[in-house]
Chain A
Amino acid sequence: MSEQKQPSKLAIWLGVRDNSFTRQKTVKFGDASAVNSGRAYGIVTVAFLIFLWWLATSQGWVKPIFWPSLDEVFTRLGKLLDEGFRNVALWDHVSISVYRVLSGVFYGALIGIPLGFAMGLSSVAKGVFDPVVEFIRPIPPLALIPLIILWFGIDEFAKIFLLFLASLFIMTIAARAGVSSVRVSKVHAAYSLGASKLQVLLRVILPNALPEIFTGLRTSMGVCWGTVVAAELVAADKGVGSMIMIAKNFLNTDIVVIGIVIIGLIGFAIEIFMRYLERKLIPWRGKG
């Protein structure tokens, strides 16, 4: 064996060199674990996109109405942070959207988890709710907006109700899947150790379903975040979605772009946060 120089930690972190384990593998194509992070290329890509943005706007390749210059965006961002948008602070636009999502997911989980458990554990509940769940599941929540506006108008309750519906069925199905994933030997073991039905439910079935429930929460958050922005586009005077819609009417492309970036960043942050929570709260996931 020839002596190979150990690659630096930085090179490994940047993903331009194999780490010491991957370097020993001879089959790398087809082995997903041998694919490096490629961070260096990511950094280059982002820098290139920003450069392209700067170049295209400063050279006048695109009109500001279609895409604003970096300068404009930063000036506008400073202004938005100072004065807010239409007398509402930028932070309030963001937080009202986040609040709507969290409320929707919360109520969806509150009803959906017990419903999913009932459907996984009782033939009556399964029979009663299965047709309803299976029918409503494929309907995109946005298709319900007209009906919800007719029923509840366009106030806060209507939006949260829409998000509640969006997360309800995701949570129901996740909880049901969690219940069905319990290995029978664990349930048998619990009964043989003298546990009652209630104890089996709370000490075995519930913790066993937590990983699936958490996946449901993550999916719910993602779907609700997409839905809230769309719902705000239709009818709202506060929230990130409404901000970009109103800005569009005034041809404030810079605000539209800022709004879109914020939507992307928050969606990303939610996902990262949920993954973090999952690692902390359910370390046993996939280890049964």
Chain B
Amino acid sequence: MKALNVENVSMIFTVPGGDPVHALKDVSLRMEPGELVSVLGPSGCGKTTLLNIIAGFLAPTSGRITLEGKADSTASVVDKPVADVVRGPGAERGMVFQQGALFEWMTVEKNVSFGPRMARKPKGEIKATVDHLLETVGLQDFSKKPVYQLSGGMQQRVALARCLANDPEVILMDEPLGALDALTREKMQGLVLQLWEETGKTIILITHSVEEALFLGERLIVMAPRPGRIEKEYRLPFAKRGLKESPREIKASPDFIEKREEILSMIWEMEEEIMGQAEG
């Protein structure tokens, strides 16, 4: 497992004919192996930009992303940790998108096995991985179905399984549950926690939902806009508790509600500040 470093990342978008937009200013962050980090912030705070930079879809204006440490499989002769600088998308950073990123011309099975097939892994190994993952996400009976016949929640299960099938070092989730209805969303939050526990993967999850960020983040990072920056960081017990206790009870507990209100009012303030700036 590797640690992920975001080192002094700034991002300035220059739109032709417009003023440059400071989407991210000097953002630094270190994620230890196996951490579950949620990122929260009002729209325009640069959280999706940050994720796209980590994924390697965008090159930062300054700063860099590194993956540090030895890979699990290949034992290095040198014992010193090695830092790889991210220069583009790669299989060691898996991505789960909001929706519509599945390949609708493939069955559930073919979607999940996409990564291993592209890497030309042996057929038997691919089948074992896919069968295991489909069972984990509860879709073993749907493996031969085309993905467009599945409900939104089931499609996101496929997206999670597809990402895990590639055995990435870090999983990046860009509002993976954002398009789901409230009930499905709660169920899927449980699944995310369960997968995190079973695989021990490092996960970054971006969300709009304060409740989701609190419940799923072992660490919660609140970002502020204009320029996009890290405003505050919390260490939270709820994700660990969510593995054992009922999510409803956790979300109804006083300490959860207290934190929720604190963060909500912080975000409200940011929003009002933006509105004030826009009017003034």
| A interface residues, Cβ below 8 angstroms from B | 183, 185-186, 188-196, 199, 203-204, 207-208, 210, 282-284, 287-288
Contacts and interface: CB of A to CB of B under 8 A. Distances in A.
A193 B104 contact: no
Contacts of B104: 284, 287-288
A185 B91 contact: no
Given A185-B100, A188-B55, A203 B148 contact: no
B256 interface: no
B109 to A, nearest CB: 15
Contacts of B102: 186, 189
Contacts of B163: 192-193
Contacts of A207: 103, 105
Interface of B: 55, 57, 88-91, 93-95, 97-98, 100-105, 114-115, 118-119, 146, 148, 162-163, 166
A194 B119 contact: yes
B118 A189 contact: no
8 contacts: A189-B97, A193-B94, A193-B118, A193-B162, A195-B114, A284-B105, A284-B146, A284-B148
A192 B94 contact: yes
A229 B88 CA distance: 54
A210 B105 contact: yes
A252 B114 CA distance: 63
Nearest to B55: A192
B19 to A, nearest CB: 25
B101 A185 contact: yes
A11 B6 CA distance: 68
Contact of A188 (B89, B105, B114, B146): B89
Contact of B91 (A186, A192, A208, A210): A192
B118 A288 contact: no
Given A193-B115, A193-B118, A195-B118, A188 B103 contact: no
Contacts of A204: 103
Nearest to A193: B115
B90 A194 contact: yes
B148 A196 contact: no
A189 B101 contact: yes
B105 A192 contact: no
Given A185-B98, A188-B101, A284-B148, 6 more contacts: A183-B101, A188-B97, A189-B101, A193-B91, A194-B118, A196-B118
A183 B100 CA distance: 8
A196 B103 CA distance: 16
Contacts of A192: 55, 89-91, 93-95, 163
Contacts of A288: 100, 104, 148
Contact of B166 (A193, A196, A199, A283): A193
Contacts of B91: 192-194
A287 B103 contact: no
| The 5 residue pairs across chains A and B that have the minimum distance between CB atoms | A194-B91, A287-B148, A193-B115, A191-B89, A185-B101
A7 B48 CA distance: 55
A260 to B, nearest CB: 40
Nearest to B114: A193
Given A203-B118, A284-B146, A284-B148, A194 B166 contact: yes
B92 to A, nearest CB: 9
A183 B104 CA distance: 12
A212 to B, nearest CB: 13
A253 to B, nearest CB: 51
